Structure 1
Amino acid sequence: MLLLFVPIGIMVDLSENIDKMIAKQAPADAILWYYFHFTIHFANLLFPFFLFLSIIWFTSKLANNTEIIAILSSGVSFMRFLRPYIVGASLVATVVFFMGMFIVPAASKGYNEFRANYIKRNKPSLNATALYNQINDDEIIYVSSFNGGNKVGYNFTLEHFNDNKLEYKLSAQSIRFEQKDSTYHLTNYVKRTIGEKDDIIEQERVLDTIFPFKMEDLVPVDYVAETKNLFELNDFIEKEKQKGSGNISGYQFNLYKRWASPLTAFILTFIAVAVSSMKRRGGMGVNLLFGIAIAFVFIFFDKVFGVLAESSGFPPLLAVAIPNIVFGVLAFFLLRNAKR
Structure 2
Amino acid sequence: MLTIIDKYILKKYLATFGVMLGLFAPIGIVIDISEKINKMIENKIPIMEILVYYYHFTIYFMNLLFPIFLFLSVIWFTSKLANDTEIIAILSSGISFTRFLRPFMIGATIVSLIVLLMGFFIVPKSNEGFNNFRYTYLRGDGKETVRGKNTDVFRQLSNDEYIYVNSFDVASKTAYNFTYEKFTKDKLAYKISASRIQWNPKTKNYTMYDYVKRTVGGLDDKIEKSDKKDAKFSFDLDDITPVIYIAETLSLGKLNQFIEKEKKRGSSNINVYKVVLYKKYSIPVSAFILTVIAVAVSSMKRRGGMGLSLAIGIALAFSFVFFDKIFGTLAEKSSFPPLLAVWIPNLVFGILAVFLLRNAKR
After TM superposition, is the score higher than 0.5? yes
What's the counterpart of residue 265 of structure 2? 243
SS at match of 2:155: strand
Q: Deviations over 1:237-258 (max 9, x none)?
A: 1121222221110110000010
C-alpha deviation, 1:186, in angstroms:
6.6
Give the counterpart of 1:314 among 333, 336, 341.
336
SS at match of 2:273: helix
Contact 1:24 1:118 in 2 (8 A): yes
SS at match of 2:166: strand
5+ long unaligned stretches in structure 2: 1-19, 201-205
**How many residues are matched?**
328
What's the counterpart of residue 29 of structure 2? 10
Q: Deviations over 1:194-220 (max 9, x none)?
A: xxxxx5864106354633336862562
Residues 127 and 183 of structure 1: CA distance in aligned 2, closer, same or farther (over 3 Å):
farther
User: Identity rate of aligned residues, in percent?
Assistant: 52
Q: Deviations over 1:72-110 (max 9, x none)?
A: 122111111000001000001000100111111111111
Residues 78 and 215 of structure 1: CA distance in aligned 2, closer, same or farther (over 3 Å):
closer
SS at match of 2:355: helix
Q: Deviations over 1:113-163 (max 9, x none)?
A: 11112223555315469964232x5642155x8355784447x452355xx
Q: Is residue 47 from structure 1 mapped to residue 66 from structure 2 by the alignment?
A: yes
Residue range with higher mean Cα deviation, 116-125 or 260-269: 116-125
Residues 201 and 129 of structure 1: CA distance in aligned 2, closer, same or farther (over 3 Å):
farther
Q: CA–CA distance in 2 between the matches of 1:242 and 1:250? A: 16
C-alpha deviation, 1:228, in angstroms:
0.8
What's the counterpart of residue 332 of structure 1? 354
SS at match of 2:325: helix
Q: How does 1:1-340 map to 2 (within 5 A)?
A: 1-120=20-139, 122=141, 123-125=145-147, 127=149, 132-135=154-157, 137=158, 139-143=160-164, 146-148=166-168, 151-153=175-177, 156=179, 158-160=181-183, 165=185, 169-171=189-191, 174-179=193-198, 182-185=206-209, 189-192=213-216, 199=218, 202-204=221-223, 206=225, 208=229, 210=231, 211-213=233-235, 217-218=239-240, 220-340=242-362
Contact 1:105 1:229 in 2 (8 A): yes
Contact 1:274 1:338 in 2 (8 A): yes
List structure 1 runs of 4+ shifted beyond 4 angstroms: 126-132, 147-150, 165-168, 185-188, 199-202
Contact 1:2 1:50 in 2 (8 A): yes
SS at match of 1:179: strand
C-alpha deviation, 1:47, in angstroms:
0.2
SS at match of 2:214: strand
TM-score normalized by structure 1? 0.87
Q: CA–CA distance in 2 between the matches of 1:157 and 1:61? A: 64
Q: CA–CA distance in 1 between the matches of 2:42 and 2:151? A: 32
The alignment's C-alpha RMSD in Å is: 2.6
Contact 1:34 1:110 in 2 (8 A): yes
State the AA in 1 paired with 2:290. L
Contact 2:153 2:242 in 1 (8 A): no
Residues 213 and 298 of structure 1: CA distance in aligned 2, closer, same or farther (over 3 Å):
same
Q: Deviations over 1:142-185 (max 9, x none)?
A: 55x8355784447x452355xxx56862135x433343983335
5+ long unaligned stretches in structure 1: 194-198
State the AA in 2 paired with 1:283. G
Q: CA–CA distance in 2 between the matches of 1:111 and 1:262? A: 22
SS at match of 2:108: helix
TM-score normalized by structure 2? 0.82
Q: CA–CA distance in 2 between the matches of 1:294 and 1:128? A: 35
Contact 2:199 2:237 in 1 (8 A): no
Q: CA–CA distance in 1 between the matches of 2:195 and 2:234? A: 14
